[in-house]
Structure 1
Amino acid sequence: MSILLNNPLWFATRAAGTLALILLTATTVLGVAGAVRYAPNPVRRFEVAALHRNLSLLSLVLLVVHIGTALADTYVPIGWISALVPFVSPYRTVWVGLGTLAFDLLLAVAITSALRLRIGLRRWKAVHVLAYAAWPLAVFHGAGTGADTRLGPQLALYALCVAAVIAALWWRLHKAGPGQVTTRVGAVVLSIAVVGAFYAFVVSGPLAPGWSHRAQTPSTAPRIGATR
């Protein structure tokens, strides 16, 4: 860890990744809460939609910075192909792969949004839904890959991100009005499952002894697993 403290690229990678996660969470909250739908007038709806779009683009830009600095940092062997192809990185294959998959999903959304008029609204919406899957992938990627996951502020950030998305889900159900018992029960089950899964992962994974070694693939663990 002392080597990392003297490495500006590591700080840049973690800073860009953390900011990208915050913006991605804000984007997900706006989408899940249906903020555009429930805006009071057309002007407000336009403003919220623009905010949603701009946050998405900014999070994608920060992800590019995050990936670029990670690849430039030669401390760990990630490789350029790992930036686009999931689960091929020699370093923490699963956890880096989750981040790559999240980036690919967001990239697909950005590309189809630029081609929205050509591909049609139905196809665009089908791809746009994938952006919601990118958020949990990004959360688990950050918690599983980052050497700072053990730090209290970082853990608090992950907890706030999860709580914000769950709150947005409940806000959406509240604004939908009475009824929809099945949907509300499903939301309760989903909320408990998400919180429980993340808590179990953090406690048994990054916060447990030996995570640096267990997070590696067998071929890379002896070489770099003991230091991260």
Structure 2
Amino acid sequence: MSALGNQALWDLGRGTGIVALVMFTITLVLGVLTRSGRPVPGLGRFGASDVHRTAALTGTALVAVHVGCLYLDPYAQLRLVDLFLPFLGAYRPLWQGLGTLGVELLGIITVVSLLRHRVGPRVFRAVHWLTYAFWPVALLHALGNGTDAATPWFRGAAVVCIAAVGLAVAWRVAPSYAGRGWHRTPRKVAR
């Protein structure tokens, strides 16, 4: 492959990883907000659900491209074993291993989410809690292994992602006041 092709693989691998992190931040924020039982301003319940699902699937596709590009890129030097067994990589094994662990968590979450109606609500909910582990693992991977991690624009993007998740969690756990027109609606699980 030419040097230009290698550079394209490297750039596409980096870019898709960063955009995937943003997509998963959107997914997590919307998941936390909709779980509160309160309407998401500007989206409503169904709109939030659609954007949540679309961002999750887009992020998953971007991770597939991210991993594929970096596997094919001779500069990244990923081995087949690095795609499946975390913490064995030659370059920054801890940070690369977090990426591998993140891909494995994402795979489990994605498969169970796609089979949601077959596995039942209890299994789906239990596995869906893994997103609270997946997102920080992906963020740490990007901060520790990303070649753009030291740049101001990436640090700014990471701060925005962290702030968005933090604000969503704060909103979720904040008491709701009926006097302000907000109330929590308990979700019913079909049995």
Counterpart of 2:69 in structure 1 is: 69
Give me the CA root mean square deviation.
Answer: 2.3
Aligned length: 173
* Deviation string, structure 1 residues 177-226 (Cα, Å, up to 9, x no partner): 49xxxxxxxxxxxxxxxxxxxxxxxxxxxxxxxxxxxxxxxxxxxxxxxx
Match of 2:83 in 1: 83
Inter-partner Cα distance in structure 1 for 2:63 and 2:177: 37
Shift of 1:78: 1.5
Task: Note the alpha carbon deviations across 1:45-86, whole angstroms, 9 max, x for none.
Answer: 222112111110110000001001110111132212322322
3-state DSSP of counterpart to 2:60:
helix
**Contact kept in structure 1, 2:34 and 2:48, CA below 8 Å:** no
2:34–2:45 contact (8 Å) kept in structure 1: no
Structure 1 pair 177–89 and aligned structure 2 pair: CA distance change class (3 A): farther
Q: Partner of 1:134 in structure 2? A: 134
TM-score (normalised: structure 2): 0.82
Mapped partners of 1:162, 1:118: distance in 2: 33
Separation (CA, whole Å) in 2 of partners of 1:177 and 1:17: 39
- Give the 3-state SS of the residue equivalent to 2:34 in structure 1: coil
**What 5-or-longer segments of structure 1 have no aligned partner?**
179-228
Contact 1:29/1:165, CA 8 A, preserved across alignment? yes
Shift of 1:8: 2.0
1:77 alignment partner AA:
Q
Quick one: distance in 2 between partners of 1:99 and 1:176? 37
State the 1:170 CA deviation. Answer: 1.1
TM-score by length of 1: 0.70
Q: Which amino acid aligns with 2:56?
A: S
> How many Å apart are 1:36 and its aligned residue?
7.2
Contact 1:33 1:172 in 2 (8 A): yes
Alignment-mate amino acid for residue 7 of structure 1:
Q
1:1-228 matches, cutoff 5 A: 7-34=7-34, 37-39=37-39, 44-174=44-174, 176-177=176-177
Which segments of 5 or more consecutive residues in structure 2 lack a partner in the other structure?
Answer: 179-191
Q: What letter is aligned with 2:50? A: A
Report the counterpart of residue 215 of structure 1 in structure 2.
none
Q: Which moved more, 1:73-82 or 1:147-156?
A: 73-82
- Are the equivalent residues in 2 in contact too, given 1:36–1:46 (CA < 8 A)? no
Check conservation: 1:36, 1:45, Cα contact below 8 A: no
Identify the structure with bigger relative contact order (alpha carbons < 8 Å, sequence gap 6+).
2
Aligned partners of 1:10 and 1:73 also within 8 Å = yes
